[in-house]
Chains A and B, each alone.
Chain A
Amino acid sequence: MKILVPIAKVPDTTSKIAFIDNNTKFNADGVTFIMNPTDEWYALVRAIELKEKQGGEVVVIHVGGADADQIIRKALAIGADKAVRVDADPTDAYFVAVQIAEHAKTENYDLIITGKETIDYNSFEITGMLAELLDMPAVALVSKLEVENGVATLKRDVEGGTETVEVKLPLVVGAEKDLALARIPNMKGIMSARTKPLAVVPATGADKLTNIVSYALPVKAKECKYVSPDNVGELVRLLHEEAKVI
């Protein structure tokens, strides 16, 4: 089985969020970048588990600059077999999806497993866009994935529960927590990652359909109003009369 795992690079969750150039650019100064958590913990590890059971190959792909090579090496250390980096600035989701789709079209993958939305832009765009560009079925928010005889059985989140579905491969899957148990790269993995192939390829020309014109931080920090533990009735009154939420 051939599996492609697109991985994104995001600021570490504890990063300070600030903007520069008149609030048009994220301030990356002093920010540590990591692999998007759901990509690393769930999408990638489930892909590796399936390969370990059934044979085949796991390829990771990233659209971005050379500063991402570190997270790509980490994916190889965790157990991916090879990597592709499309050398371009990943500014627009459609542009990124086209790059990944162009690669996928040349390789006949059985499965493409993305993460959930990235923790910076919270967009949830690439999974659906890829599926449409490749004219494949897709299932997102997947917490269970088994493959047998060319058919995938998946559990996906629906409002207020889960649904179990069956889909023939090839297929695009969007991972969600519980899909796999996160793995930490071991010494052997880290050593072998250095020699695994990482191909850097140029971008395909593609339109950008959206453009971020500015960013803003919340206007003011919240001011907490304290209520005495001996006067809980006051909280109920405030929630009703002031906040108007009950």
Chain B
Amino acid sequence: MAVLSFVEVADGKIKKASVEAAYYGSKVAESLGTDSIALVIGEAGADVLAALGQVGVKKVVQANNAKFNSFDSKVYTKIVAEAVAQSGATVVVLSFNNNGKLLAPRLSVKLKAGYVPGAVELPVFNGNTAIVKKNVFSGKASAQYQVATDVKVISVNPNSLAPVKGAGVAEVMQVIPTTVTDADFGVVVKSVDKITGTVPLTEAELVVSAGRGLKGPENWGMIEELAKEMGAATACSRPVSDVDWRPHHEHVGQTGLTIRPNLYIAVGISGAIQHLAGVNGSKVIVVINTDPEAPFFKAADYGIVGDAFQVVPALIQEYKKFKAAH
């Protein structure tokens, strides 16, 4: 028995979502009285991997071949399944992030394992049966999934569980054997287009977002400045990206990205249900809007009824003061 978490490395660092998955895996291992093992596919530094001990990982196994550096769901499924067999893992934990959304269900089929996508809490075990909570209806409700298969696959919703770090150091085992051959590869990466200099929206803990209330693209300077001060990512409502005031990758909501940051600041956004669908998983929501009747206030933790063109510059000044004092 063991709990195996799948960990992704990007730019020499463990992805934030994967740190959460590994932490979740360690917590599950703790409750089952077994070991927390992490699997890393592709090249990664041993010191980076050993640091997984901070979130309770005992042992890191690695398929560290340069051939595995880019994501191919079929190849990765095979490797993870092999690591499950070798470690005797009964629970496999991944992140419900871009790659996890393809890898986890594939693995579920390969292992004939019940799969819970996007868990928001730790599972509760009763013998061989696990009950796991996940959000449904875009965060408007939750559901308890029951899984009783011998092996269980769980993907963790990003930002659902804040890892508590200790001082542990994981033992790093190089290279696990795999039977992957060249014939298994199907996806050839031609180019990568990263938006540089900004925090990726889906990984961001703080997000500053604005909507049509800002009147025009020329007014986004203060939004960018506030985001920069806070180390936040920027987002926008759909009409704003539809008319190209902002790039499409910033659009959040039912038809755009779903995000769950610790803090979401919405400036000049009315709070239509389709917008809320993408953001109401945020821990804390701040709404700044001139209209006291704007529906967004119903979903907000803190609200300022006021003009963005006064409130945002004031907020930048106040935040600078705060930063200087802390």
Contact = CB atoms under 8 A, between A and B. Distances in A.
A160 B102 contact: no
Contacts of B299: 222
Interface in A148-165: 153, 156-165
A229 B287 CA distance: 12
A22 interface: no
A36 to B, nearest CB: 11
A132 interface: yes
A187 interface: no
A232 B106 contact: no
Given A37-B255, A122-B138, A167-B186, A240 B322 contact: yes
Interface string B112-144: 111111100000000000010011111011111
A156 B138 CA distance: 22
B248 A178 contact: yes
A86 interface: no
A156 B71 CA distance: 11
Interface stretch (A44-52, A71-79, A135-143): A135-143
B311 A159 contact: no
Contact of B131 (A41, A129, A132, A213): A213
Interface string A190-233: 00000000000000000101111111111001101111110011
B40 to A, nearest CB: 16
A210 B145 contact: yes
B303 A243 contact: no
Question: Is chain A's interface secondary structure helix, strand, loop, or mixed overall?
Answer: mixed
B19 to A, nearest CB: 13
B318 A236 contact: yes
B195 A129 contact: no
A167 B147 CA distance: 34
Interface stretch (A1-9, A13-21, A57-65, A105-113): A13-21
A-side interface size class: 35 or more
B108 A129 contact: yes
Contact of A139 (B187, B200, B302, B310): B187
Contacts, number: 274
A132 B136 contact: no
A168 interface: yes
B167 interface: no
A97 B117 CA distance: 15
Interface residues of B, number: 100
Contacts of B322: 236-237, 240, 246
Nearest to A232: B314
B73 A137 contact: yes
Given A94-B109, A123-B117, A159-B10, A217 B141 contact: yes
A207 B113 CA distance: 11
B284 A243 contact: yes
Which of A125, A159, A164, A226 has the most B CB atoms < 10 Å from its CB?
A159
B315 A167 contact: no
Interface string B196-226: 0011111101100000000000000000000
Interface of A: 11, 13-14, 17, 19, 37-38, 41, 93-94, 97, 117, 119-129, 131-133, 135-141, 153, 156-168, 171, 174, 177-178, 207, 209-218, 221-222, 224-229, 232-233, 235-240, 243, 245-246
The 10 closest A-B pairs by CB, nearest first: A229-B306, A160-B200, A137-B186, A128-B105, A161-B194, A209-B114, A132-B109, A132-B106, A232-B314, A245-B263
23 contacts: A13-B277, A93-B105, A122-B136, A127-B105, A128-B73, A131-B102, A132-B74, A132-B106, A137-B73, A140-B98, A159-B15, A160-B198, A164-B192, A210-B116, A213-B144, A214-B144, A215-B142, A224-B303, A226-B303, A227-B304, A229-B314, A232-B317, A245-B262
Given A13-B273, A138-B102, A168-B186, 15 more contacts: A94-B109, A94-B115, A128-B101, A132-B105, A133-B109, A135-B74, A139-B187, A140-B98, A159-B97, A159-B200, A166-B188, A212-B144, A213-B131, A216-B142, A224-B300
